[in-house]
Amino acid sequence: MKKSALLIVAVVAMTVGCTSTDQVTKNTIDQQEVLNKLSLEDKAHFVIGIGMEGFSGDNAVIGATRSLVPGAAGTTYPLDSLGIPAVVLADGPAGLRIDATRDGDSATYYCTHFPIGTLLASTWNTELVEQVGLAIGEEVKEYGADVLLAPALNIMRNPLCGRNFEYYSEDPVVAGKTAAAYIKGVQKNDVGTSIKHFAANNQETNRMNTDARISQRALREIYLKGFEIAIKESKPWTVMTSYNYINGTYSSESKDLVETILRDEWGYEGTVMTDWFGGKDGAIQMWAGNDMLQPGKAEQFDSIVAGVKSGKLAEADLDRNVARILNLVEKSPRFQGYQYSNKPDLKAHAAVTRQSAAEGMVLMKNSEALPFGEKIKNVALYGNTSYDFIAGGTGSGNVNHAYVVSLLDGLKNGGYTVSEELKTAYETYIADAKKAIEAALEEQAKKDPKNAMLVKFLPQPLPAEKLFSADELTKQAEAADIAVITLGRLSGEFLDRKVADFNLSASERQLITQVCDVYHKAGKQVVVLLNIGGVIETASWRDLPDAILCAWQAGQEGGNSVVDVLSGKQSPSGKFTMTWPVKFTDAYSSRNFPIDEDPRIDMMNQGQKGNVRNVDYTDYEEDIYVGYRYFDSFDVPVAYPFGYGLSYTSFEYSDAAVSVDGGSATVTVTVKNTGDHEGKEVVELYVAAPDAKAQNKPAKELKAFAKTKLLKPGESETLTLKINADDLASFDETASAWVVAEGEYQFLVAASAQDIKATLTATVKGQQTKAHDVLRPQTNMNLLKR
Ligand code: BGC
């Protein structure tokens, strides 16, 4: 690439504390000079990306830039004559997503498949999440990418959202803190992140054209809060706007969202890009401050050029966006001339994913079946997924990994014996089922060649569970010390889960019932393992097995991570970041969620908004009562509460105290390991506002959390949890302000939303912070109130 000496200034900088040999050369861009040299058309190209092969764009440009890192989602638009390179944008949350192999190249470019976002959040360990981010960022940098299109932190509004596996929590504090840690880790490598999808991308059905209708209060307190926390704490290089409308305006066309809230109120200084083909009118997106349209469409280019010519779009707004993209390019490793190796430390990262995955698993039930300890040697392994472990979800959040350790392999690696007979039976069954799926896909591709690629992108349903006769099971039980049954679920982008996916299938139910019956009669125990990306029904069957472990989708080392927990090498310390309802319909949002609707997949956003409830628009009638805020405030029984998770040991909480200094509060509590196994404990701090019910506030809300170090039996640690005055505010729509009501607050030190260990009280001073009166709903909604 030819660099113009005029525009790019090489600055020799000394990093603080470096020796003279650590001098770094920092290239800078003279933005004004670049802007002076660009025609209107150049600017319009620069802000819309390069297009996407087979969908949009100039194939010559696409070809040249796609080859930078094959398989990356996109790049910025190169301005070669000005020395401005295309910088590479690649998915996604569970690791870097690029092609693993390249034509005419014998090298491989596999990336580490780390655990899904939900598992990472379930660790409640922000230091660990930062370590995972650090490892992912190293792969981004060493494979030559510049910006990772992650993390994804939309709120788990409903258990059936197809992308919940990528997301962190139903609670904005957990989501925001987890995302901040992830971003800090990735960006320590001097590569960027793109926090997404801003905002309210809470369903996949008709995702390009659905209108999320939300009260200003719920938007501020629930759907924007996590972004606010993460953006302020970790300064992501980029923000990705969401596909959906919010109260009638596309996110990427909403100046109120992108300029007023994000930049003016939160002080964000980075670059904003659309999701792929998101939004419709290029000129309006530019005006709104959505700097970059990815991957870019001809209509957007035309709209921008025509917009400036007609005066609909001020050229100054376009220049502002160009400048913000230049800021991004300037920071990028590619512009800085970083010589990447294509050799990230995959071995070290395998260890990072193995350990982090084990820490996010949630022990749901344990009647002395776990850990295996010395008594267990032979394991009878049931469930298709035990042999074909699911590392993560499908779509852009998938990773091209080199391998996935199944539970079968994990047990063998851990020195356990598994029934060879069962192994052969399952492997044959699964191979046959996969052949049938492949054949069906090929058939479908022939019938509908246009959608062949898309179909491969979607989750393929797992076959029904293999069942055994009572005699077969009795024989197997005689030979084994314990049975493990894995239930699997696969979900992904484009599709919300169906109700049938939440519930157990008939074959799963029968398998659990029969295995438990036979093994219990033989005096043997049964463990159920959940290899899932989202919540499922448990209340009807959880009494049957002796232990249940939610392993989530634990990345490529999944089987090893699970065995680290089953064996007792690592005590489980994960806790749920979402409520597990008894029935799917118990979640209030299920009244307003697309249930088993046509997903309306629309790759290039060509559809128009219609008027079908929960498809074209969704009224968030539960308002702020999302997840535990609903179940707790309205006394609705749950299967497992938010924040729940067992350990192999037990903990005692003591000496809880609160002190208030002005508006901010500090809570301390001592946690002691009172059992005979080492372990870590997550402490959750909820706050109940004065007069909560009368003020239509939730019974309690999580405001902070902390996790102990690994405590040996008998060992204690005192944790300190801090809450700022602003954290106690709720959004008053009438005043358009964040308001802290003066009065006596309860500070609840808890092991879960339903396991309060200490209740402290303190008086907090009132305060009010003005905000803008923006993003008002356009229709009246029947909002839930206490
Ligand atoms: C997804 C984004 C992703 C982008 C690029 C979109 O379909 O919604 O999360 O980053 O594609 O692959």
Closest C-alpha to ligand 1, atom 6: 276
Closest C-alpha to ligand 1, atom 5: 73
In this prediction, residue 428 carries a pLDDT of 95
What is the number of the ligand 1 atom nearest to the C-alpha of 150? 10
Closest C-alpha to ligand 1, atom 9: 396
CB distance 771 to 217 below 8 Å:
no
Pocket test for ligand 1, best of 396, 458, 493, 601 (most atoms within 8 A of CB): 396
In this prediction, residue 61 carries a pLDDT of 83
Cβ–ligand 1 distance for 149 under 6 Å, the answer yes
What is the number of the ligand 1 atom nearest to the C-alpha of 152? 9
CB distance 113 to 419 below 8 Å:
no
Residue 633 pLDDT grade (very low, low, confident, very high; cuts 50, 70, 90): very high
Closest C-alpha to ligand 1, atom 3: 396
Cβ–ligand 1 distance for 276 under 6 Å, the answer yes
What is the number of the ligand 1 atom nearest to the C-alpha of 166? 9
Which CA distances in Å does 112 have to 132, 192, 305, 381, 730?
Answer: 11, 18, 42, 26, 41
Strand partners, 667: 658, 721
Q: Which H or E element spans position 178?
A: helix 172-187
Question: Which token pair is 392?
Answer: 């993560």
This prediction has a pTM of 0.96
Closest C-alpha to ligand 1, atom 11: 276
User: Is the per-residue pLDDT at 307 higher than 60?
Assistant: yes
Cβ–ligand 1 distance for 91 under 6 Å, the answer yes
Question: What Rg value do the Cα atoms of the chain yield, rounded?
Answer: 26
In this prediction, residue 440 carries a pLDDT of 85
Query: Measured between alpha carbons, how far is 408 from 387 in angstroms, rounded to an integer?
Result: 6
Q: What is the rounded average pLDDT for all residues in the chain?
A: 94
In this prediction, residue 12 carries a pLDDT of 40
Mean pLDDT of 594-601: 93
What pLDDT digit, counting tens, does each position of 219-276 carry?
999 999 999 999 999 999 999 999 999 999 999 999 999 999 999 999 999 999 999 9
Q: Which of 562, 528, 573 lies closest to 416, judged by CA?
A: 562
User: Is the per-residue pLDDT at 7 higher than 70?
Assistant: no
pLDDT over 70 percentage in the chain: 97
Lowest model confidence (mean pLDDT) among 270-284, 445-459, 710-724: 445-459
Pocket test for ligand 1, best of 252, 292, 493, 602 (most atoms within 8 A of CB): 493
DSSP letters, 181-215, are HHHHHHHTTS-EEEEEEETT----TTTTT-EEE--
Q: Catalytic residue numbers?
A: 275
Query: Measured between alpha carbons, how far is 307 from 442 in angstroms, rounded to an integer?
Result: 45
User: Is the per-residue pLDDT at 570 higher than 60?
Assistant: yes
Cβ–ligand 1 distance for 154 under 6 Å, the answer no
In this prediction, residue 457 carries a pLDDT of 77
Mean pLDDT of 390-402: 95
Mean pLDDT of 546-563: 98
Query: Measured between alpha carbons, how far is 248 from 211 in angstroms, rounded to an integer?
Result: 6
Which CA distances in Å does 227 have to 117, 186, 196, 441, 442?
Answer: 15, 17, 9, 39, 41
What pLDDT digit, counting tens, does each position of 136-192 carry?
999 999 999 999 999 999 999 999 999 999 999 999 999 999 999 999 999 999 999
- Rounded to the nearest 5 degrees, what angle is found at the Cα of 393, between the Cα atoms of 571 and 568? 10
Pocket test for ligand 1, best of 99, 154, 203, 275 (most atoms within 8 A of CB): 275
User: Is the per-residue pLDDT at 485 higher than 70?
Assistant: yes
- Residues 625, 626, 627, 629, Cα dihedral to 10°: -30
Q: Which of 695, 636, 705 lies closest to 669, judged by CA?
A: 705
Mean pLDDT of 588-602: 95
Question: Which token pair is 626?
Answer: 């999302």
What pLDDT digit, counting tens, does each position of 96-150 carry?
999 999 999 999 999 999 999 999 999 999 999 999 999 999 999 999 999 999 9
Closest C-alpha to ligand 1, atom 7: 276
What is the number of the ligand 1 atom nearest to the C-alpha of 243? 8
Query: With DSSP H G I counted as helix, E B as strand and the rest as coil, what are the percentages for the chain, rounded to 5?
Result: 35, 20, 45
Cβ–ligand 1 distance for 138 under 6 Å, the answer no
What pLDDT digit, counting tens, does each position of 398-439 carry?
999 999 999 999 999 999 999 999 999 999 999 999 898 888
User: Is the per-residue pLDDT at 23 higher than 90?
Assistant: no
pLDDT over 90 percentage in the chain: 88
Residue 22 pLDDT grade (very low, low, confident, very high; cuts 50, 70, 90): very low
Greater model confidence, 4 or 744:
744
Query: Measured between alpha carbons, how far is 546 from 367 in angstroms, rounded to an integer?
Result: 5
Phi and psi torsions of 413, nearest 5°: -60, -30
Q: Distance, CA 461 to ligand 1 centroid (Å)?
A: 22
Pocket test for ligand 1, best of 91, 203, 243, 277 (most atoms within 8 A of CB): 91
- Residue holding tokens 């598992």? 119
In this prediction, residue 459 carries a pLDDT of 82
In this prediction, residue 25 carries a pLDDT of 61
Strand partners, 723: 665
In this prediction, residue 638 carries a pLDDT of 98
Closest C-alpha to ligand 1, atom 8: 275
Helices (H), 400-542: 407-413, 420-447, 452-457, 470-479, 499-502, 506-521
What pLDDT digit, counting tens, does each position of 67-82 carry?
899 999 999 999 999 9
User: Is the per-residue pLDDT at 451 higher than 80?
Assistant: no
User: Is the per-residue pLDDT at 18 higher than 50?
Assistant: no
Q: Distance, CA 446 to ligand 1 centroid (Å)?
A: 27
